[in-house]
Structure formats: structure tokens, C-alpha cells
Amino acid sequence: MLKSIRAALAMSVITLTAMGASPAFAAPLKVVASFTIIADFAKNVGGDRIDVTTIVGPDGDAHVYEPSPADAVAMAKADIVLVNGLHFEGFLQRLVDASATKASIVTLTKGVTSIDFKPEFADADAAEGAGTGGGKTVTDPHAFQSIANAKIYVKNIAEAFCAADADGCVSYQTNAAAYTKKLDAVEGEVKAAIASIPEAKRVVITSHDAFGYFEHEYGLTFLAPQGISTDSEPSAADVAKLVTQVKQDKAAAIFVENITNPRLIEQIASETSIKVGGTLYSDALSQPDGPASTYIDMMHNNIRQIKGAILGS
């Protein structure tokens, strides 16, 4: 009798231990990242405890992305969905609804001080009925272009992974701390590179306003004919205004972006006789064999291109 009670107790202890040790999900943790930069952060924090599926792939444009049935399947199977928020992913709500996912949707810009974008060139038609005598002010979603903000994304990812998989928490926190150190080092390099550029030359042109947070954090001015989204074409008047500014020697270099058609930038370059300085990675990483397949490589690539084009080195 006693023996069988002991046996039963032992069994239940084993069962409880097994339940405690096994997380509520079937390992690895199934993570969906809305785009490549977030996927890279997630891999750095999660290591081999997670399996990441990315919705908007390399060189993809999240502003105008149309989800596929495969995306809905990935969302339905996910334990955690990591998103930027600030309306960066216009497709998100439709995809959440279509997939009926039960995953927690984690917004990584939580805790970021958002900045407002007031169009200088683009969105002239959006000015109607908004604000005081200028373009309509909207929240800039590209917070990831500041490395200081990237560290907040990483912290939020580690917290979300810990909440979903307590057994992995020490590993997530350790990975996040190691990766944050690497981000600190890159941020130092970016600041040093900007400091090496004469102040009067710290103005460059890109196709859309993806670098507001970079500008705010590191003090390089970006002008763009297209606003903070790529979902509308700039007007001829906006482009002409930008060309005039460039001709008055107000920009030191001009770049195409990996996510947008280079046609407009090539047109401005030819009208102003400024040579296109290269490709900046704005809203997506490159293909794995490209120059910006990780966030850190993206920052290195962008600052190298900017410095090279302005200083001619």
C-alpha cells in the first residue's frame, strides 16, 4: 500500500518535473518577425532556442508589402510575433485577422521616444487640413535606424522570449547583453565617422525618408523626395524643389536605397550632375550574400558609403 502510494507520488513528481521543464510550446520557440532587421535581432537574442520566420524578406518594402498565404500559415503557427509598430507594417492587422493567430504580438518600439516627421518635399497633398501651414506631421516609424533604439528593440525581444520560455531566460539575457555590447561598438564607429565629415557637408539625398532617427541621433541630414512611406509617388514639384536645393550645393551626396526603384534618384542625379554614391540599406537587410545581411553589417555599409561618397575616400 505504502509502496504504491510512494510510487504514485514519485510518478506525479516526475510528471510535475517534466511539465515544469517543458515549456508551453514545442521547442524551439516559433517566432515570426515582420521584417529582416527584427529577424536578425531575434536570432542574436534567441540563438538555437528559436526558429524565426520572416514576413518581408531581404530587400523587401514593408510599407507596400502584400502578405501571402504562407505568411498567414506562419502567423497561425507562431508562439510570438515581433513587429516594429508605429504603423510601419501596413499589412499587419489584415494578416493577424486572416491567420487568427493566438500568438502574442510584441511591439518592439515600446519604450522608444518616437519622432515626428514633417514633410519638406513629399506629401504636399497631405498638407490639406492638417497642422499649421506646412506638411502634415506624422510619426516616423523607422526607429531602428538609431542604434540606441536598436538596443531597446533587443531588450524588448529578450523580455518577450523570457515570458514565453522561462527556462531559456538566462540564455536570452546573456545573448542580449553580448549583442548590445556589439551595438555599442558600432554606434561608436558611426559617431566617429560622422565626426570626420565637415559639418557643411553633412547633407545627403535618399529616395524616401527612412533615416530620420539616424539624423536625430547622429547629426547627418537626409533629404528625400518621397515621404516616410513609399506608397505614393512624389510630385514633379517636389522633385524640382529638391533638384534646386542640390544645385545650390546643399547636398553632398545622393544614394539609391535597396528597397526602392532607383529611377527617381537616377533622374535627380542626372539633373544635378551628382554621381550616385551607392546603395543605402533603409528598411530591409540585403540577401545573405550581400553587403548588409545583418543589422551590424547594414550600419557598417551605410556609414562607409556615406563617408566614401562625401569625402571621396
- Which stretches of the chain bind Zn ion, using CB under 5 A? 210, 283
Closer by beta carbon to Zn ion, 230 or else 305:
230
Q: How far is the CB of 72 from Zn ion (least distance, A)?
A: 24
- Return left, alpha or beta for 12; rule: phi > 0 is left, psi -120 to 50 is alpha, else beta: alpha
Candidates 166, 179, 147; CA nearest to 45 is 179
Closer by beta carbon to Zn ion, 61 or else 79:
61
Q: How far is the CB of 34 from Zn ion (least distance, A)?
A: 13
Closer by beta carbon to Zn ion, 144 or else 172:
144
Candidates 182, 176, 222, 193; CA nearest to 49 is 176
Which residues have a Cβ under 8 Å from the Cβ of 118 and sit 6 or more positions away?
131, 134, 135, 136, 137
Q: How far is the CB of 187 from Zn ion (least distance, A)?
A: 21
Candidates 273, 282, 152, 306; CA nearest to 207 is 282
Closer by beta carbon to Zn ion, 120 or else 283:
283
Q: How far is the CB of 247 from Zn ion (least distance, A)?
A: 26
Q: How far is the CB of 216 from Zn ion (least distance, A)?
A: 15
* DSSP conformation letters of 161-174: HHHH-GGGHHHHHH
Closer by beta carbon to Zn ion, 157 or else 210:
210
Report helix, strand or coil for 132: coil
How many Å apart are CA 221 and CA 310, to the nearest integer? 13
- Return left, alpha or beta for 258; rule: phi > 0 is left, psi -120 to 50 is alpha, else beta: alpha
